[in-house]
Amino acid sequence: MARERRCGQVQLLSAHPAHRLHSQLNYSSLRERYAVAGREPVTIHPQDATTRGIVDGDTVRVWNHRGQVLAGAVVTDGIRPGVICIHEGAWLDPEPTAGGICKNGAVNVLTKDLPSSRLGNGCAGNTALVWFEKYTGPALPLTAFDPPANS
């Protein structure tokens, strides 16, 4: 059953990144080339960014009924109005003191966990309806790449 778009929602695309293979290389020197504000980038059309007071480099909160993530704004006319894009493959980094928000921008938090088939069992969902806004909450440091406490 498809969900109807609600006021203020946009279409989220979770495209494959050009700079890594799924989650491989998420923690590598390549990250310095694409991360924004230390997080996974979210591509936003200027019209959508302006109406929300977002500029290039801002930290953005993206959410829906499944969860929420923080991402770094890339404002460009290279995406259509009403659509945003977060590349798949970021490592999950939930913050337990902030409602479980993923600080690293793991887009799978927002997409439906529906396998493509019993054979492949891959993810079928590359899109979702979401809201987004400029993040104004407390600074939440990334911990996805920290070694376990007992290591």
What is the residue-level pLDDT of the chain in tens, covering all 151 positions?
456 667 789 999 988 777 766 655 555 656 677 788 889 999 999 999 999 999 999 999 999 999 999 999 999 999 999 999 999 888 889 998 888 999 999 998 998 876 667 776 665 567 899 999 999 999 999 887 778 888 7
CA distances from 44 to 40, 51, 76, 86, 113 (A): 13, 11, 6, 10, 24
Per-residue model confidence (pLDDT) at position 1: 43
- Planar angle of CA 106, 3, 53, nearest 5 degrees: 55
Q: How many alpha carbons fall within 13 Å on the CB side of residue 8? A: 8
Cβ atoms of residues 105 and 70 within 8 Å: yes
Looking at the whole model, is its pTM more than 0.95? Answer: no
Q: Which of 113, 21, 29 is nearest to 67 (CA)?
A: 113
The CATH number of the domain covering residues in 10-134? 2.40.40.20
Per-residue model confidence (pLDDT) at position 35: 80
